[in-house]
Structure 1
Amino acid sequence: MVIRNFLGVLLATLASVLVLSGPAAATPAKETPWLPEAAAYRLTLFLGNLEPLPWDDIETAWTDPYRGSEFSIGALTWLDRESDIDAAQLLNAITHEDRQAAFVEATRLIALRIEEELDRVIAAEDPARAQQAVRTARELYRAFADGIATAESDVARQIGLAWLELNSSTGSVGVLGAGATSADRDTMVAARRVISDYLAQNYLIDDFAPRQTLSALPETAILSGRAIEVPPSLPPGSDIFDQDPLPRLVLNFEEQGIDETDLPLVAYGDMLFDSAQIFGSPARDLGLACSTCHNRSDVNQRLFIPGASHQPGAIDVDGAFFNPIFNDRRDDPLDIPSLRGLRFTGPYGRDGRFASLRDFTRNVVVNEFGGAEPTPFMMDALVAYMLEFDFLPNSMLTPDGQLTESAPEAAQRGEAIFNTPFAGLGDRSCASCHMPDANFLDRQAHDIGSVAPAYEGARAGALDTPTLLGTAYTAPYFHDGSLPTLAAVVDWFDETKTLGLTEAERTDLTAYLQTVGAADEPYEAFDAENTAFRLAFAELTTFASTIDTLLPRRDAEHILLLTDTVAADLAADASTMSNLAARPEVYALAGRLADVGAAVRDGDWAAAEASWSAFQTEADTVEARAF
């Protein structure tokens, strides 16, 4: 009896962990792959909350594999192969663009699939087949799990326990015949009943209450009228992680031999650039920061969010997802621009609508991502940091933008073409706008015909001239990322502006653009000792160094923003360490920084100073072997 009670407690504890654990809000965590129909359901929920509804994308969610899927077929084809369930009603709802009906049919389909797999568990004649059916059913249940955990945590634990009991009661074939156990049919049926009864009451009902917001919340929770805040989540196929290889960050002050810890305003701005806390929900809760899109001042070419991106490296920042008040109701994701050399590239925004970097930055924080109004100190810090972004060094270019002798011959021929006036360009050359001695900019906006008029009779859009420096690493090109390569850019201008280039001239001009856009060391170089974690650790401890300035000022607001950001990120980054023995020390260090924040919240400045002093001492010890 004691052993049985202990196992019950253990199973309940494990169930709780399985259901309730999740990534820290400040740092995104990769998730396990989804089954095709579960992925399609989660995409339907996400896309169904956008305005206007992207019905083509919702249909594609069911017909095609989601981006990054381990399966080569879409949900409907998968269902035809694995299930007897008819998806005709779901397809009919999507065809007729009936949001509520699409939600109902998709929800019922997932619940029926879970029941189908549970039937297979009970009917299985050997443990291996039963356990496989349990795994499949649980992976399908995952589509509902966070909704249940949010609304009814106690029930979620009970169902988690039922899943564990179901799996453990299927029996075992043992090892080489030894240790084989028979299935416990009574326990299997009882555990299955717990799961099935809940599905019947919440996800297999005849009439669902109308949904203003689509979610996996159980029907009983909806009918209760309780205000339930559903944590935001990204759908399957999303990718908000840093690109690999990691872009090299070039900072003006570092090139001059100045340490960032001696520049507290810049260091605090560096922290803010990496902090999700300055944005509103959902960006904040999902761990999105400025650096998510502008990875180390460059372009994050892997970033992708279904419904907000049409391809990797693009995002619709004025759509319905990030800040509904700022929703322009247009499906117009833009290619993420590089921020390298930002102090040279004003005005700001794709169309140059912001004269100052300060105004542009405030618009991003408050309007695009729904953050609270930044304090003057925060704005000063962010701008001070971003103005330090520099271009990548390129030994094939002189300081005034001319090619050196080390440049390829084709590029040198292309340089002459770049400076040649063409009638199709109004007797101007490429260099007239992309001025080599001005960082390949003219700081003006031009209508080159790449933006279609929004409606008949409307003026087409003029776009700010982008720099060509570093562009070898920022494909695709144009404001909407419609041209995949620099060669395609040359072809577009030749064809639309009737330049009359020969094939050889196109090749040479492309070689010139590739050379201008190249760099000597575009990516960070890591080895066994100089690891990605060591780089992250150095950055985070640099952020924390600004506490030396903020503590004497008793600046609680800005200290708490820092400790909330850095403590969470430091703990999360510890998981990347190759030195496992030092990992507990890093967790403890993160806890020490959290102690600083806790003391500040309590108004205990003496305790805050003591915890900060301890953090500094321990950080010096950890740094020597933290990799």
Structure 2
Amino acid sequence: MIRKLSGLLVAAWIGATVSFGPSHATPAKEAPWLPDAAAYRLTLFLGNLEPIPWDQVETAWSDPYHGSEFSAGALAWLSANSDIGAEPVLDAIARRDRQALFEAATQTIAHRIEEELDRALNADDPATAQQAVQTARKLYRAFADGIGAADADAARQIGRAWLELNNSTGSAGVLGAGATPADREAMVAARTTISSYLAENYLAEDFAPRRLLTPLPETAILSGRDIDLPPSLPPGADIFDQDPLPLLVLNFEEQGIDETDLPLIAYGDMLFDSAQIFGGPARDLGIACSTCHNRSDINQRLFIPGASHQPGAVDVDGAFFNPIFNDRRDDPLDIPSLRGLRFTGPYGRDGRFASLRDFTRNVIVNEFAGAEPTPFMLDALVAYMQEFDFLPNAMLTTDGQLTEAATDAAVRGEILFNQNFEGLGDRSCASCHVPSGNFLDRQAHDIGSVAPGYSGARSGALDTPTLLGTVYTAPYFHDGSLPTLASVVDWFNDTKSLGLTEADQADLTAYLETIGAADEPYEAFDAENTPFRLAFAELTTFASTLDTLLPRRDAEHILLLVETVGADLSADASTMSNLSARPDVYALAERLNQVGAAVRAEDWDTAEASWAAFKAEAMTLEARAF
């Protein structure tokens, strides 16, 4: 996806190593970042990419980060709220000096914390002092995980110092009653604890050279110790599910078949939602197949700085997920829908994989640095993904013809869609997007939408995408460069000299919007049919494959399942609206953990007993799981 950062043991600096600890497949949301702290963390993240995207580093300081609650970027924020200038940071960026940038950015944040602490101590009233302490603590967040990972004792001492500072600022009371003065002695003592640590670790005169930029303290770097640093994405990253959540249409469900009766498919469903099949850092950050492909469709909110040029796009052949797979080209692709996958081969944006199995293995091993999947895992994943179906559309027959429900404009547009144009080589839109073939031809064509990498390059041919369901998959083209279906029609009219009038374009757009529509595109939730209930049903279905795996004594695949499902059950419990049932869900997750512990000990009788208890408790809990 991005550039250069490994989730396993990485030589990070002189003498020291850092490892990124495990996580689960359900990411946790973060509180907003202050602009200057956000710019610092983005600097660390982008500074580890190879090659470094210096334009994005500069933007990290000049513009608000993606999704920021602040309208100002770090530079404007500093100008308005601080006497500390960003000249050293800008100078390092201009010189493209990575080490100097790290030092300048680190010192800027440390100086900002000191500046706010000065304001707190010099404040004339408790409210001003408390505000300054809160701002300082929000800035300290930029270093907090590094300190916590490297020096737990110092992290606890500094944590107590922040509490003491906040409690010592005094109170104005209510309408003058109950006012308490500031305890300046306590404030000074607490501030000294914080400032001493900053001076030694984040305001050093000479920082050790960094091979990996992290918020770890300088003393930890110089110690040469192995440090387990929690994995994190930078401010602005968004790997949460799309909202509203796309509706999942599965072929077997439409035929009334229960997934629990299809253990291979159910296991593949679990793998599709499991971060465990990938390597670090994807696994450690909780990124699974379903992270990008929500419910077989597109996660249009997914965004990772340095890998995504816009939401819903990602560069899967950079070195963030797998340094060996880094092609050193900034070429993020719009995430494709996987609906109707069994009909849409060959696979990959340019159709380079004839086999879905080979494509899937490439995603796991090459793109996301996972271990070689077992044949059973590939069988399961392919079996599951081949059940993805297109969204039902009452305005379209199964052979691609409009029904009476279509508008007159769409009917006129259908004629244009099937009309040959000189600018298309005396072919029609339907020549490639064959209506009877799910609006694709399973071939690759160069339509001129990809800039050649070099003179004479034949690298612009892309696999013909289906037009089914496209109303819900904007933006369009491989790089998401066109925001609407109308803009796609306009692009073809201009670049291919089709000679369409405005009325023609409107009709052709109406046709595309009709064949790309759906009767029910999104999951429908209510007070009882909640996202947790959907997740609970899925996770217990995943677990049902233990009925097959336990008799086979298949320890490898059992452990992968219980590690995925147990962790996600516990994590998803926090989203329950029925709070009284939450402890029971935690207990249910523990049952799976007991299955895993017994399997590791090769105590199959206990594993079977724990599994039987899980099934009984899950059935009892199901009615209250919302």
Q: Same fold (TM over 0.5)?
A: yes
CA distance in 2: counterparts of 1:176 and 1:535, whole angstroms? 50
Q: After superposition, where does 1:125-204 map in structure 2 within 5 Å? A: 125-204=124-203
CA distance in 1: counterparts of 2:506 and 2:146, whole angstroms? 55
The corresponding residue for 1:612 is 611
The corresponding residue for 2:331 is 332
- 1:236-289, Cα deviation, whole Å (9 max, x unpaired): 001100111110000000000000000000000000000000001110010000
The Cα shift of 1:455 comes to: 1.2
Q: Return the letter of the residue paired with 2:182.
A: A
Q: After superposition, where does 1:24-423 map in structure 2 within 5 Å? A: 24-423=23-422
Give the SS at the match of 1:487.
Answer: helix
Q: Is 2:24–2:564's contact at 8 Å kept on the other side of the alignment?
A: no
The Cα shift of 1:312 comes to: 0.3
The Cα shift of 1:34 comes to: 0.3
The corresponding residue for 1:15 is none
Q: Return the letter of the residue paired with 2:391.
A: L
Worse-superposed segment, 476-485 or 177-186: 177-186
Q: Return the letter of the residue paired with 1:255.
A: E
The Cα shift of 1:26 comes to: 2.5
The Cα shift of 1:602 comes to: 2.0
The Cα shift of 1:626 comes to: 1.1
The corresponding residue for 2:549 is 550
- 1:603-622, Cα deviation, whole Å (9 max, x unpaired): 22122111111111110111
The Cα shift of 1:491 comes to: 0.7
Give the SS at the match of 1:228.
Answer: strand
Q: Return the letter of the residue paired with 1:196.
A: S
Give the SS at the match of 2:229.
Answer: coil
CA distance in 2: counterparts of 1:32 and 1:460, whole angstroms? 42
The corresponding residue for 2:527 is 528
Q: Is 2:267–2:545's contact at 8 Å kept on the other side of the alignment?
A: yes
CA distance in 1: counterparts of 2:378 and 2:421, whole angstroms? 44
Give the SS at the match of 1:393.
Answer: coil
The Cα shift of 1:175 comes to: 3.5
Worse-superposed segment, 216-225 or 169-178: 169-178
Q: Is 2:318–2:327's contact at 8 Å kept on the other side of the alignment?
A: yes
The corresponding residue for 1:3 is none
CA distance in 1: counterparts of 2:523 and 2:228, whole angstroms? 41
The Cα shift of 1:554 comes to: 1.0
Q: Return the letter of the residue paired with 1:370.
A: A
CA distance in 1: counterparts of 2:122 and 2:383, whole angstroms? 66
Give the SS at the match of 1:606.
Answer: helix
Q: CA RMSD in A?
A: 1.1
The Cα shift of 1:182 comes to: 2.2
The Cα shift of 1:178 comes to: 4.0
The Cα shift of 1:130 comes to: 1.3
The corresponding residue for 2:455 is 456
CA distance in 2: counterparts of 1:157 and 1:381, whole angstroms? 46
CA distance in 1: counterparts of 2:358 and 2:575, whole angstroms? 37
The Cα shift of 1:23 comes to: 10
The Cα shift of 1:461 comes to: 1.8
Q: Return the letter of the residue paired with 2:320.
A: F
CA distance in 2: counterparts of 1:207 and 1:23, whole angstroms? 33
CA distance in 2: counterparts of 1:27 and 1:598, whole angstroms? 22
The Cα shift of 1:229 comes to: 3.8
Give the SS at the match of 2:624.
Answer: coil
CA distance in 1: counterparts of 2:561 and 2:587, whole angstroms? 17
Worse-superposed segment, 580-589 or 472-481: 580-589
Q: Is 1:270–1:385's contact at 8 Å kept on the other side of the alignment?
A: yes
The corresponding residue for 2:9 is none
CA distance in 2: counterparts of 1:374 and 1:143, whole angstroms? 37
Worse-superposed segment, 494-503 or 457-466: 457-466
Q: Return the letter of the residue paired with 1:569.
A: D
The corresponding residue for 2:601 is 602
Give the SS at the match of 1:562.
Answer: helix
CA distance in 1: counterparts of 2:538 and 2:430, whole angstroms? 38
Give the SS at the match of 2:227.
Answer: coil
Q: Return the letter of the residue paired with 1:501.
A: L
Q: Is 1:24–1:572's contact at 8 Å kept on the other side of the alignment?
A: no
The Cα shift of 1:625 comes to: 1.3
The Cα shift of 1:580 comes to: 1.1
Matched, 1:584 2:574: no
Give the SS at the match of 2:366.
Answer: helix
- 1:200-239, Cα deviation, whole Å (9 max, x unpaired): 0010011111100001011111111223243321000011
Q: Return the letter of the residue paired with 1:239.
A: D
Q: TM-score, normalised by structure 2?
A: 0.96
Q: After superposition, where does 1:479-498 map in structure 2 within 5 Å? A: 479-498=478-497
List structure 1 runs of 4+ shifted beyond 4 angstroms: none
- 1:306-356, Cα deviation, whole Å (9 max, x unpaired): 000000000001012111110000000000000000000000000000010
Q: Return the letter of the residue paired with 1:279.
A: F
Compare relative contact order (CA 8 Å, sep 6+) and give the higher one, 1 or 2. Answer: 2
CA distance in 2: counterparts of 1:510 and 1:211, whole angstroms? 53
Q: Return the letter of the residue paired with 2:67.
A: G
Q: Is 1:39–1:236's contact at 8 Å kept on the other side of the alignment?
A: yes
The Cα shift of 1:176 comes to: 4.1
The Cα shift of 1:477 comes to: 0.5
The Cα shift of 1:361 comes to: 0.3
Q: Is 2:542–2:565's contact at 8 Å kept on the other side of the alignment?
A: yes
Q: Is 1:449–1:460's contact at 8 Å kept on the other side of the alignment?
A: no
Q: Return the letter of the residue paired with 2:257.
A: I
Q: Return the letter of the residue paired with 1:73.
A: A
The corresponding residue for 1:504 is 503
Worse-superposed segment, 51-60 or 124-133: 124-133
Give the SS at the match of 2:226.
Answer: coil
CA distance in 2: counterparts of 1:460 and 1:366, whole angstroms? 24
Q: Is 2:169–2:182's contact at 8 Å kept on the other side of the alignment?
A: yes
Number of aligned pairs?
Answer: 606
CA distance in 2: counterparts of 1:303 and 1:158, whole angstroms? 37
The corresponding residue for 1:574 is 573
Structure 2: 5+ residue stretches without partners: 1-20
Q: Is 2:24–2:568's contact at 8 Å kept on the other side of the alignment?
A: no
Q: TM-score, normalised by structure 1?
A: 0.95
Matched, 1:468 2:482: no
CA distance in 1: counterparts of 2:179 and 2:613, whole angstroms? 55
Q: Return the letter of the residue paired with 1:408.
A: T
Q: Return the letter of the residue paired with 1:347.
A: P
Worse-superposed segment, 462-471 or 578-587: 578-587
CA distance in 2: counterparts of 1:583 and 1:412, whole angstroms? 53
Q: Is 1:117–1:137's contact at 8 Å kept on the other side of the alignment?
A: yes
Give the SS at the match of 1:337.
Answer: coil
Give the SS at the match of 1:533.
Answer: helix
User: Aligned in 2, Cα 1:65/1:278: closer, same or farther, shift over 3 Å?
Assistant: same
The Cα shift of 1:574 comes to: 1.0
CA distance in 2: counterparts of 1:502 and 1:366, whole angstroms? 49
CA distance in 1: counterparts of 2:256 and 2:35, whole angstroms? 52
CA distance in 2: counterparts of 1:529 and 1:232, whole angstroms? 35
The Cα shift of 1:596 comes to: 1.2
CA distance in 1: counterparts of 2:248 and 2:520, whole angstroms? 10
